[in-house]
Amino acid sequence: MAALRRKFGDDYQVVNTGTGATFKAPVKKKRQRFVEKNGRCNVQHGNLGGETSRYLSDLFTTLVDLKWRWNLLIFTLTYTIAWLVMASMWWLIAYVRGDLSHARNASYTPCVANVYNFPSAFLFFIETEATIGYGYRYITEKCPEGIILFLFQSLLGSIVDAFLIGCMFIKMSQPKKRAETLMFSQDAVISQRDGKLCLMFRVGNLRNSHMVSAQIRCKLIKSRQTPEGEFLPLDQCELDVGFGTGADQLFLVSPLTICHEINPKSPFFDLSQRSLRNEQFEIVVILEGIVETTGNSHHFFFISSAAQYQTPAVVSDPSPSIRPQP
């Protein structure tokens, strides 16, 4: 054991697989992530200029990205304000024409029959907009301005319905809850497989519905300095998880182990275990696939950072299962 420590350093621990006892190194304090476990990018934009106008120019996507409480508030306020405005226009027509003062006159032909005040005008608008058609209030043929307002109301109602209901439907079909049944391993490990040193983690689907055309990709995010002296704080590097062999195309029926071979082309090739613990980086795993039940293409994320990164232990048994250290 002393020879192993002299060769590999004090960070390597011995795992006795026969008794199940492990010796764990002290857990390091977690660093702030660049990408959270739920896939949210921990990035804040600033000093861009005209940021609000850019969001408003793509209002539909902005509404979809809002939290549910704001979506419901905007949904309620939009319909409430639109109903009040249109009801006020019907009341205004009746007021200008003098229909309110002749409301009880049976010989007088008003613009809208049986509209006496604002509540009755509001009820007429709701009956028309919701196509309820009680038959008690109706537009007469001697009111051209009422016919024009009715056409405008129908067009505006169709536009508002298509916009808000479409926004709510897309927001409800987002795959955030679907990610709860797509499980990644808690940590990634480095171990030998087929005589090669590999970075490995597992992914599994808990539902019976399959992920169609599932494909997995890995990104290494870390800072680096170019030979010209330029500092790149969030440089992205692709990790090969079988792109050349087709191993990145997954048939996700049972849990699968994803491997990245640490060869001379890997960014981990020149790192020792000691330097690996001191490095600051994140590995972002992106699983793309089509959900069978909805037919929508979705993206799921798994993030492992250097603060929680697992490295293999040196074992005394010549053929054990390697246990990672925390």
Least-confidence region, from 78-87, 129-138, 147-156, 215-224: 129-138
Q: Tell which residue, 72, 86, 85, 84, has the closest CA to residue 164.
A: 72
| Residue-by-residue DSSP string for 163-191 | HHHHHHHHHHT-TTTGGGGEEE-SS-EEE
299-320, pLDDT tens digit by residue? 665 555 443 333 333 333 333 3
pLDDT in tens, 75-92: 999 999 999 999 999 999
| Class of residue 89 by CB neighbours under 10 A (exposed 0-12, middle 13-18, buried 19+) | middle
- What digits encode the pLDDT tens for the residues 259-280? 998 988 888 888 877 777 777 8
Between residues 59 and 299, the one the model is more confident about: 59
Lowest mean pLDDT among 146-155, 157-166, 315-324: 315-324
Distance of CA 321 to the CA centre of its chain: 36
Q: What sign results for the dihedral spanned by CA atoms 114, 119, 125, 131? A: negative
The token pair at 296 is: 């929508």
Q: Rounded to two decimals, what is the model's pTM?
A: 0.58
84 to 69, 75, 106, 143, 165: CA distances (angstroms): 22, 14, 28, 21, 20
- The H or E element that residue 236 is part of is strand 231-239
The pair of three-digit structure tokens given for residue 290, joined into one six-digit string: 């089509």
Q: What is the pLDDT of residue 84?
A: 93
Tell me the pLDDT band of 38, cut-offs 50, 70 and 90: low
Domains and CATH numbers, the chain: 55-173 (1.10.287.70), 179-309 (2.60.40.1400)
